[in-house]
Structure 1
Amino acid sequence: MSTTIFWFRNDLRLHDQPALEAALRHGADHLLPVVCLPPAGATSPWDCERVGPHRRAFLADTVQDLGERLAALGSRLFVCDAAPTVALPLLARAVAADTVFCEAIAAPEEESQVAQLRSAGLRIETVWHSSLLAPQALPWPVDRLPGVFTAFRHAVERAGLLPASPLPVPARLPSPPDLPEALLRAVGAAAALPGAEVPMAERTGGADPRSSFPYAVPAFRGGETAALAHLSQYLARKLPHTYKAARDGLAGVDYSSKFSPWLASGALSPRRVLAALKAFEQAHGANEGSYWLWFELLWRDYFRLLHLQHGAALYRARGLAAAPPAPHNAQGFDHWRQGRTGEPLVDAAMRELAATGYLSNRLRQVAASYLIHELQGDWRAGAAWFESQLVDYDVYSNQANWLYIAGRGTDPRGGRRFNPAKQALDHDADGRYRQMWGAA
Structure 2
Amino acid sequence: MTSFPACHDNRSNRLSPGVIFWFRNDLRLHDQVALAHAIDIAHRLGGWLLPVYIHDNRLDAMTPWGFKRIGAKQTAWVRMALDDLFNQLTRLGSTLIQVSGNSAHVLANLVHVLGGPLIVCEEIAAPEEQDQVEEIRRNGVSVETVWQSTLIAPESLPFKPEDLPDTFTKFRQLLEQYAVRATPPLEDVKVLPPLPGHSDLALCRGALHDLAASIDSNHPEIDPRSSFPWNQFRFHGGEKAALAHLDQYCGRGLPHSYKSTRNELIGIDYSSKWSPWLATGALSARRAWAAIAKFEEMHGANESTYWLFFELLWRDHFRWLHLKYGKLLYAARGLKNISLPKHDHAAFKKWCDGETGNSFIDAGMNELALTGYLSNRMRQNVASFLIHDLRCDWRAGAAWFEANLIDYDVYSNQGNWLYLSGRGTDPRPTRRFNPQLQAKNYDPEGIYRKMWLET
The TM-score normalised by the length of structure 1 is 0.95
Aligned twin of 1:184:
205
- In structure 1, which of residues 144, 152, 161 is the aligned counterpart of residue 180 of structure 2? 161
* 8 Å CA contact 1:61, 1:198 repeated in 2: no
Cα distance, 1:185 vs structure 2: 5.7
Cα distance, 1:413 vs structure 2: 1.4
Aligned twin of 1:76:
95
Aligned twin of 2:242:
227
Describe how 1:30-429 pairs up with structure 2 within 5 A: 30-39=48-57, 41-177=60-196, 178=198, 179=200, 183-184=204-205, 186-187=207-208, 192=213, 198-199=217-218, 202-205=219-222, 208-429=223-444
Match of 1:153, as an amino acid?
A: R
Cα distance, 1:406 vs structure 2: 0.1
CA offsets 1:375-421 (integer angstroms, 9 cap, x no match):
11100000000000001000000000000000000122122100111
Match of 2:71, as an amino acid?
A: G
Q: Distance in 1 between matches of 2:348 and 2:380?
A: 16
Cα distance, 1:139 vs structure 2: 1.2
Cα distance, 1:335 vs structure 2: 0.7
SS of structure 2 residue aligned to 1:55: helix
Match of 1:120, as an amino acid?
A: N
Q: Distance in 1 between matches of 2:209 and 2:385?
A: 42
* 8 Å CA contact 2:341, 2:394 repeated in 1: no
SS of structure 2 residue aligned to 1:33: strand
Q: Distance in 2 between matches of 1:181 and 1:404?
A: 49
Q: Distance in 1 between matches of 2:426 and 2:265?
A: 24
Q: Identity of paired residues, percent?
A: 50
Q: Distance in 1 between matches of 2:183 and 2:127?
A: 28
Q: Distance in 1 between matches of 2:206 and 2:379?
A: 41
SS of structure 2 residue aligned to 1:32: strand
Aligned twin of 1:17:
32
CA offsets 1:341-391 (integer angstroms, 9 cap, x no match):
001111110111011000000000000000000111100000000000001
* 8 Å CA contact 1:247, 1:256 repeated in 2: yes
CA offsets 1:146-196 (integer angstroms, 9 cap, x no match):
121111111101211113221112221012123565743653577548xx6
Task: Give runs of ≥4 in structure 1 deviating > 6 Å.
Answer: none
* 8 Å CA contact 1:371, 1:377 repeated in 2: yes
CA-based RMSD: 1.7
Q: Distance in 2 between matches of 1:101 and 1:277?
A: 30
Q: Distance in 2 between matches of 1:43 and 1:181?
A: 35
Match of 1:43, as an amino acid?
A: M
CA offsets 1:36-92 (integer angstroms, 9 cap, x no match):
113263222222322111100100100010001111111100011122112111111
Q: Distance in 2 between matches of 1:38 and 1:430?
A: 45
CA offsets 1:68-120 (integer angstroms, 9 cap, x no match):
11111111000111221121111111111421000110011000000000000
Q: Distance in 2 between matches of 1:227 and 1:49?
A: 28
**How many residues are aligned here?**
434
